[in-house]
Copies of this chain bind each other. A is one copy, B any other.
Amino acid sequence: MRLSPPGRATFSQANNLDLTFGGGESNVAISLAYFGVNTVHVTRFPDNFIGKAATQFLRHHWVDTTHVIYGGEMIGKYFIEKGSTHRPSQVVYERDGSAFAEMKPEMINWKEVLEGTDWFHWTGITPGVSQGAAESCLEAIKVANNLGITVSGDIHSRSSLWNYGKDQSEVLPPLVEGTDVVIASEFSINRVLNITENQDEIDFKSASQKLMTNYPRVTKVVDKDRTSVSASHNRIQGKMWDGKSLIRTEEYDINPIIERVGTGDAFAAGLIYGQLNMSDDEESLKFATAACSLKHTVEGDANVVSVENVINLVKGDTSGRINR
């Protein structure tokens, strides 16, 4: 559940809040659903009108919510004050004690959920929330591996959000072990590899190579480079190491940014769409990067653009001319 003051106001200036719902995996699910992919989101919400409203939000945005389970006392939340230019956005998380944080293994029948699907996606947010969520995620990955389903994991994850007593280098390795496509920066990779020295000398390609050496299931490592000129102006470039070569897309210049949140998830959704529908890694990386770029112009957490919108941008139409 996401609550934010309208426009660029702060909480100290607001007496009403915009309400929407968002989260790493659900953002990916919604974006894929707008691309026309049948997408199931699996989570746990409280069994009250707020949990229902969260499910309704997912249904509204075309996601299949058959496997949402209900229980617990509260929904995970975040509050955001949107910044501008030099003023950063400010976020407060409230996740302790949420229905999701209190998930436990075996609450979800992963075999039933995953049977017949082509792809399973997880993010580093989930194992960072709680021990139970991490275990539940691992459980899912193992079932996916057994069923021969491709697994992608976006392991970007702020250390500061890991506050249940374990850290990333302890929890992430078994998850990455079952993952085929890893979305990660060189810094995230090194946390998985537990490399803490010489952070200045890290580069994406050699980190990716090391990751593949240690985790043989991983066949692709993907990320985007972001240049933050200001809170209103960013540049984005996609990159991928596929074990043989480093692919880079052109750089998109985004100014002004309508909403910075959820752009990484839009990238992941674009990548998954590309991997499912395009024969070529470079094409799917371009698609992912253009999708990510477009998300900066979309309000809310999730990307609601169509495949056609993304393809037009990939083809080079950055003019924003009105479609009539």
Contact = CB atoms under 8 A, between A and B. Distances in A.
B15 A17 contact: no
Contacts of A91: 322-324
B228 A320 contact: yes
A225 B230 CA distance: 21
A254 interface: yes
Contacts of A89: 320, 322-323
Query: Which interface residue of A81, A254, A261, A319 has the most chain B CB atoms within 10 A?
Result: A319
A5 to B, nearest CB: 8
Nearest to A20: B15
A115 interface: no
B88 A321 contact: yes
A299 interface: yes
A15 B12 contact: no
A212 B26 CA distance: 53
> In the complex this chain forms, how many copies of it are found?
6
A64 to B, nearest CB: 10
A84 B12 contact: no
B230 A299 contact: no
Interface string A71-82: 001100001010
A305 B87 contact: yes
A147 interface: no
Interface string A33-58: 00000000000001011101100110
A230 B318 contact: yes
Interface stretch (A167-175, A192-200, A203-211, A290-298): A290-298
16 contacts: A3-B19, A8-B258, A10-B299, A14-B15, A15-B15, A16-B18, A57-B60, A73-B96, A83-B322, A84-B320, A86-B320, A87-B297, A87-B298, A89-B322, A230-B318, A232-B256
